Amino acid sequence: MRYILSSAVLLLFALPNQLHAQEYSVQAIDAKSGKVLKGIPITLRYDCTATGTGIKTKIHCKFLQRKTGSDGIAHFPEAGSLSDIDDIFSLPINYSMVCGDISKPVIPGMGTITFQRRSLGQTLYWIFVGD
């Protein structure tokens, strides 16, 4: 009984480490200051399939979105169990992405995306017209 109980406790403590081992994280950084950015939405695109042919081709993808925390990092602990992650990107309103194409992430791992703050005029243009 004592052996079973200690094994169960060991399993409970080991399980988060195994989940963490399959995680992919993305850090958001300000290009000018080098500081981490909190609250930036990061989107992970996976499991894309195409149906139809020619101009009738339709592509269907699944998405996960997380915001960066106070440490500037968005965590995707389930990344190791997702099929065909083909892109990680961000489209925040107040920032434009300067550098950080993460098209084929290596799991476990971490990527960095650098952002530049948009001016008020650029932000309004992005909201009403698009990028």
Q: For residue range 45-90, what is the model confidence (pLDDT) as tens digits? A: 999 999 999 999 999 999 999 999 999 999 999 999 988 898 899 8
Domain membership flag for residue 117: yes
pLDDT above 70 (res 35): yes
Q: How far apart are CA 44 and CA 76, in angstroms?
A: 8
Range of the domain at 43: 21-128
Domain membership flag for residue 123: yes
pLDDT for residue 131: 59
Residue 14 binned pLDDT confidence (cut-offs 50, 70, 90): very low
Domain membership flag for residue 14: no
Domain membership flag for residue 52: yes
The answer to whether 62 and 46 are in contact (CB under 8 A) is yes
The dihedral built from the CA positions of residue 102, 75, 113 and 39, taken in this order, carries a sign that is positive
Domain membership flag for residue 44: yes
Q: How far apart are CA 105 and CA 98, in angstroms?
A: 18
pLDDT tens across 83-129, in order?
889 889 988 888 888 887 787 788 899 999 999 988 888 778 767 87
Indicate the DSSP class of residue 119: P
pLDDT for residue 96: 83
- Please give the angle made by the CA atoms of 103, 109 and 112, to the nearest 5 degrees: 60
Domain membership flag for residue 10: no
**Residue 77: which CATH number?**
2.60.40.1120
Report pTM: 0.74
Residues in a beta bridge with 45 = 63, 87
Instruction: Report the domain count for the chain.
Output: 1
Q: C-alpha distances in angstroms, 124 versus 38, 72, 99, 110, 127? A: 21, 25, 22, 32, 5
